[in-house]
Structure 1
Amino acid sequence: MLTTLVLTLSAALLLQGYTQHLFDTRPDGIPRERRAATSVPAQVSSGGPVIDGAAARTATPADRTIALTFDDGPDPVWTPKILDVLRRHDVRATFFTVGNRVAENPGLARRIVEDGHQIGLHSFTHTDLGSASRWRRSLELRQTQLVVAGATGVTTPLLRPPYSSSSAALTDADWDAVRQAGQDGYLTVLTTRDSEDWRRPGAGQIVANATPKGSGGEIVLLHDAGGDRAQTVAALEQLVPRLKAGGWRFTTVGQAVSLPRTTQPAATSDRLQGLALITAIRGGDAVLEALSWLLWGAGAVSLLRAVAVVVAARRHVRMRRRPWGAPVTAPVSVIVPAYNESAGIEAAVRSLVASDHPVEVIVVDDGSTDGTADLVEALRLPGVRVIRQQNAGKPAALNTGIAAASYDLLVMVDGDTVFEPDAVRMIVQPFAHRRVGAVSGNAKVVNRGGLLGRWQHIEYVVGFNLDRRLFDLAECMPTVPGAVGAFRREALLRVGGVSGTTLAEDTDLTMALCRDGWRVVYEERAKAWTEAPATLGALWKQRYRWCYGTLQAMWKHRGALTQRGQAGKLGRRGLVYLLTFQVLLPLLAPVVDIFAVYGLVFLDPVRILGLWTAFLVLQVLMGLYAFHLDDERPGPLWSLPLQQFVHRQLMYLVVIQSVFTAVAGSRLRWQRMERYGSLRMPVDPAGQVPPARVEPHQEAHR
């Protein structure tokens, strides 16, 4: 479905770009560079204005006959006015229409034919056919013929190349185009008299330029589009009565040179193709208009978000300088759900035991088959318990740990996460405030080698942490990460523990706590190190689960949108933010990329590159500030430009697939991330594992 949508959008923009931005707007009569004319046959260059290029034959209008011809239309303003003048004076003329403008104004093309006028082709994008390649000439004529067939129900053999004039002015390039058109069945109609109305010299001068000097037949060039044609309309009101009074006969080009038939009913296939092309062109214009507004809106919202998160981060830093209250010294139960975590469980448990805060560590082995529980028991670390259960999933393992915990303050840790020695102490300090029910810590990527590792490191520092500071200030934190989070036991029991109804149990739990009236805050000083996916496939699986689970949690807690208090803050602030920046804008991301390519091809590439550079500079500045707040070296930010071409695309594809999966009603199974064993246990300067500090009553309980 995504491929179909992207291809459809690309085709629409390609068609729109071709028809609109390859359109040559120069006036037909503008002076042209003189070119060689050695290949133009003498009988053509000295012959009449109507040319059969295939046979190199010409025709001239009968004496005292004038064929008025109008180029560049139809135009919604001036073509109806000219048609009204011709109707009042009972004159038939020939209109050489531009295909793109016929597609925009099919009703006017139909009126031209219904009023008895002759219709001809003037290319699709008003391009110089003499300078165009052979394939583009064929495309220009074929597409114009199709839209004329779709709009009027007839086809025409008459062609006037843009920027042409008289037979004597044909160049070698022009003749090549005329000959190719003749081989395709078209008659080329040039002019004998140019009114020069494109110069807008005044109605009187236009009349003078269009008035014949002798008695020979004339094909007069006028315009019904391409600018202000008020002078042309005024000139017609004078020219037609004057020449009629002088004995001149007005007629179409076909009648002037006695062509047997100049139009014929279009074949059904041509008419259907023409209607489809008209629909596609007009649809492309509408799509581009809508996309332009959407992209401007998305850009404005993204800029406002950047300003908001930076301002929020500054306020958050100042706010965190004030203590929450009296220091929290109560012991903590740390719950580690583990399923086949043998690669990193030792480092994780040893780091928890090394905490500078009194803890008990409960490892809940959820039916591991790789000896995870045996490995932890073999460590014989003080303050560590292992609980074995049959495989029931992470939420069940967490609930088992909650039931077995000895203390009222709980920290939940993934089995692939290593805590810094002060992380537990830091993460529980906000519980000095009675309203705080949960605290999000600061998860950091440990395996930062390679581009993928750097990109995820940047994402964690810039994206996740800046957003969490904003959520904290707005009191609408949607997620306490499973890698490093702390909870009041009371709060967990009030919401029924950890639910397994979504794939993002941490997001589901956090939203449930907010809706129950608890405040959830962010403590950036509580740092824990976790493994990030090391391959694109593993990253895809992880983020697909996260995103799909977040969508499930948002839908589950959508009732918060209409609630009051803390729940209302989550709904009207947190959920709206997530919907905007984690769902809707990523859905627009492919459109942004396609539009960027469109801009490079059809618009001003310098402007497009300038906008992209400005966007990148904004990201770099945000990155520098976020790295400064997190005491990180800014070196990895050099890879940020490359991130736009791989990592960003992967993330929005994950969102798109998650949304499509959710809309389709499919269920996604929980997917466990591959472990790489890159975590290391903390050691003191002497190289020994620091012992855990355990309270006497904790030891007795054990």
Structure 2
Amino acid sequence: MARHVARRDPRAHWVLLLLGLVVLLAALSFHALVTNVGGGSGPSDASASPASSLVTSGGPVLRLDGPTPVSRRLPARTVALTFDDGPDPRWTPQVLDVLRRHHAHATFFVVGARVDEHPELVRRILAEGHELGSHTFTHADVTAVPPWRAAAELSWTRSAIAGATGREVTLFRPPYSSTVQSLTAPQYEALRSAAGTGHVAVLADRDARDWQRPGVPAIVRAATPQGGAGAVVLLHDGGGDRAQTVAALDQLLTRLTRDGYRFTTVSAGIGAPDSMVPATVGARLSGTTLRWAQSVADGLTGLMNLLLGVALVLGVARLVVQVICAQVHVRRVRRPRPGWPVDAPVSVIVPAYNEAANIAATVRSLVSSAYPALEVIVVDDGSSDGTADIVERLRLRGVRVIRQANAGKPAALNTGIRAARADLLVLVDGDTVFQPDTVHRLVQGFADARVGAISGNTKVANRRRLLGRWQHLEYVIGFNLDRRMYDVLECMPTIPGAIGAFRREVLLAVGGVPADTLAEDTDLTMKVLRAGWRVVYEENAIAWTEAPSSLRQLWRQRYRWCYGTLQAMWKHRHALRESGAGGRLGRRGLPYLTVFQIVLPLTAPAVDVFALYGLIFLPWSSLLLAWAGLLLLQGFTAAYALRLDRERFGPLWTLPFQQLVYRQVMYLVVVQSVVTAVVGNRLRWQRMARTGEAAALVAAPGGAPR
């Protein structure tokens, strides 16, 4: 109704939001891929057929880039100690310390993702004269993943090592491999594919099987070469508890040194040139970029886990506070109070702009009120649909019509306030229908001289369709549970425009209904609180209103509500420093609105992306269990709220579907409102087209909607 000059609503942020969500999903997916790391666990397919005897009878170092496999063995009394699955921040330094004490060198087959996490350990490995090889990026079974993934695992690991050390590796040991004799045909094919990118395969002569933690003596026995032969020995410095490996390594080095063995890297052991060559600038940049991407993905995943944890804690805490406050409120309002009954004259003010669909039902319901002294003032704010004519043709006693040029809802309310004869005023929207006892119940709170304003209980009349049922649940669960809590905590931020009662002196003291925000009801309520008056909630004063019947209308209404609430919160931000009722608004009401109506809804798109990530990567059983738990919590809240409002439980079946559509509309409204406020746009008034459905439903036989 208010006329504001407004620019076109901003839209570029939707593209940015979508792009941000895609990037977030990509980062979470990359994290899921990267965290697929672990220690050795034996062959991935023990039933696979063995490789050709031409290969399995040869040495553990295999060059497979030619037409014929070429294998090499280590000379007698030469041992190449090799360590898989690192670097590990706990165990790799201990392994390096043991090697240094014994003046021994070794080859470390590192996992690329762990290299990105601990590049300083990889640099220490090289600085102390050891050799590096690739063990894939995520410890993936290269025989079980698609060819593109296997190639990416090797490429990413090379990049990670190049970014951390400035060197590129050529040695490669596939995860879940062991001795050359146990090589399977699928593993052999994977090694041949790796050879196509310049990798040399390294298996083992002796598998210590230390990942099983069989005990130090068993590890030493399994790792000791027989008969003075040379050997490539397979051990682990990551992937789990490696305390037994560290202890066994010390004993193994002591024993084999005494027996005349020397310890060297794989390349030096077979007399080959250094397997590590200087990396190109491109490879270093690629590795650095990969490390940053992994760090960002890890950080975002941690942030999302923290966000979900905080949101869950806040949600449960909110429910607990709501339930406690609701019980206190019920006991307070359902017992006799001093000063009852209040029967002072009441003026009902109805601002109306093109309300032809509902105005007759609204006025008739008011005139039919079981209240002894009541006048109804309809302020027609320049309607073009004959709203004022409809009221005048009703010829109802106690009803006055005031016509004015269109100036907006606040101006119409202020016109009615000036014209009212009573000291108690009830402000009613033009699409709202009262029950016969509504006015009586609404004003009884004025028996307390400290009360300056009273909120009634707004209910959705047109709830037969799915969208109406969703809004009905929202009104009962969110609005009315919250109002009970606000009443007990004495920080009520909003008296709805559909039904609210005020002392005339209060409205005059605060300067009437403000016109500089689009949520004049919230703005006015906050002004009343800051003036030192109490604002309470009367659950039994029921008003039936017509809710939006389409998603487009719902969007327009909630967009205005949310934007106007932001305006009012900013306007009254100084309440944070006040005392009394204003301080309670500032330190209770405003933080609550900020957290639950702005911050958490703004994070909801990211939470939905996190849920999609879970659907793709996490076990469905765990995800369904978590979703069912949250749904049960919401169902309990809804059932409790419906019971307090004496409503049927039937609409509860729509609750799961509400999470799939309605919730997304609500949080996107918050996103749009915040962006509009940030860029400084002035939102124009968004009026909802009325159908008269609410009036027809309430007037139908049987009374209130089901």
TM-score (norm 2): 0.92
Cα deviation for residue 491 of structure 1 reads 0.3
Contact 2:38 2:240 in 1 (8 A): no
- Paired with 2:41 and 2:443, the residues of 1 have a C-alpha distance of 78
Q: In the alignment, what sits opposite 1:137?
A: 150
Q: Secondary structure at the match of 2:421?
A: coil
Q: In the alignment, what sits opposite 2:358?
A: 344
Q: Amino acid of the residue matched to residue 160 of structure 2?
A: V
Aligned residues between the structures: 683
**Mapping of residues 102-121 of structure 1, within 5 Å:** 102-121=115-134
Structure 1: give runs of 5+ residues left out of the alignment.
688-702
**Mapping of residues 147-166 of structure 1, within 5 Å:** 147-166=160-179
Q: Amino acid of the residue matched to residue 354 of structure 1?
A: S
Cα deviation for residue 2 of structure 1 reads 2.4
**Mapping of residues 456-471 of structure 1, within 5 Å:** 456-471=471-486
Q: In the alignment, what sits opposite 2:460?
A: 445
- Paired with 2:542 and 2:324, the residues of 1 have a C-alpha distance of 23
- Paired with 1:336 and 1:241, the residues of 2 have a C-alpha distance of 96
Do residues 503 (structure 1) and 514 (structure 2) align?
no
Q: Amino acid of the residue matched to residue 269 of structure 1?
A: G
Q: In the alignment, what sits opposite 1:213?
A: 226
Q: In the alignment, what sits opposite 2:243?
A: 230
Q: Secondary structure at the match of 2:488?
A: helix
1:555-613 Cα distance to aligned partner (Å, 9 max, x none)? 11112122111111112121122122212222232333333333344344323322221
Contact 1:476 1:520 in 2 (8 A): yes
Q: In the alignment, what sits opposite 2:330?
A: 317
Q: Amino acid of the residue matched to residue 263 of structure 1?
A: M
Q: Secondary structure at the match of 1:533?
A: coil
Contact 1:130 1:175 in 2 (8 A): no
The 1:93/1:423 distance shift into structure 2, 3 A limit, reads same
Contact 2:52 2:185 in 1 (8 A): no
1:133-164 Cα distance to aligned partner (Å, 9 max, x none)? 22221222222222112211221121100111
Q: Amino acid of the residue matched to residue 635 of structure 1?
A: G
Q: Which moved more, 1:480-489 or 1:337-346?
A: 337-346
1:106-151 Cα distance to aligned partner (Å, 9 max, x none)? 1111222233321111112212222222222122222222211221
Do residues 289 (structure 1) and 318 (structure 2) align?
no
Cα deviation for residue 457 of structure 1 reads 0.7
Do residues 542 (structure 1) and 567 (structure 2) align?
no
Contact 1:60 1:217 in 2 (8 A): no
Q: Secondary structure at the match of 1:521?
A: strand
Q: In the alignment, what sits opposite 2:318?
A: 305
- Paired with 1:241 and 1:327, the residues of 2 have a C-alpha distance of 97
Q: 2:75 aligned to 50, 56, 63, which one?
A: 63
- Paired with 2:700 and 2:63, the residues of 1 have a C-alpha distance of 95
Cα deviation for residue 49 of structure 1 reads 1.4
Q: In the alignment, what sits opposite 1:529?
A: 544
Q: Secondary structure at the match of 1:679?
A: helix
Q: Which moved more, 1:4-13 or 1:450-459?
A: 4-13
Percent identity, aligned pairs only? 57
Q: Amino acid of the residue matched to residue 465 of structure 1?
A: N
Do residues 618 (structure 1) and 633 (structure 2) align?
yes
1:324-381 Cα distance to aligned partner (Å, 9 max, x none)? 4231222211111112222222222222222222322222222222222233223332
- Paired with 1:129 and 1:53, the residues of 2 have a C-alpha distance of 16
- Paired with 1:276 and 1:336, the residues of 2 have a C-alpha distance of 64
- Paired with 1:604 and 1:167, the residues of 2 have a C-alpha distance of 35
Q: In the alignment, what sits opposite 1:696?
A: none
Q: Which moved more, 1:253-262 or 1:170-179?
A: 253-262
**Mapping of residues 118-517 of structure 1, within 5 Å:** 118-240=131-253, 242-244=255-257, 246-324=259-337, 325-357=339-371, 358-517=373-532
Q: 1:661 aligned to 663, 670, 676, which one?
A: 676
- Paired with 1:286 and 1:458, the residues of 2 have a C-alpha distance of 37
Cα deviation for residue 246 of structure 1 reads 4.3
Contact 2:37 2:239 in 1 (8 A): no
Q: In the alignment, what sits opposite 1:45?
A: 56
Q: Which moved more, 1:371-380 or 1:11-20?
A: 371-380
- Paired with 1:263 and 1:30, the residues of 2 have a C-alpha distance of 28
Q: In the alignment, what sits opposite 1:97?
A: 110
Q: Amino acid of the residue matched to residue 71 of structure 2?
A: A
**Mapping of residues 586-597 of structure 1, within 5 Å:** 586-597=601-612
Q: In the alignment, what sits opposite 1:567?
A: 582
Structure 2: give runs of 5+ residues left out of the alignment.
1-15
Cα deviation for residue 24 of structure 1 reads 4.4
Cα deviation for residue 29 of structure 1 reads 4.3
- Paired with 1:105 and 1:231, the residues of 2 have a C-alpha distance of 22
- Paired with 1:250 and 1:447, the residues of 2 have a C-alpha distance of 83
- Paired with 2:635 and 2:188, the residues of 1 have a C-alpha distance of 56
1:59-116 Cα distance to aligned partner (Å, 9 max, x none)? 2134223222111100111211222333343333211001121121111112222333
TM-score (norm 1): 0.92
- Paired with 1:444 and 1:368, the residues of 2 have a C-alpha distance of 26
Cα deviation for residue 197 of structure 1 reads 2.7
- Paired with 1:684 and 1:173, the residues of 2 have a C-alpha distance of 75
Contact 1:337 1:394 in 2 (8 A): yes
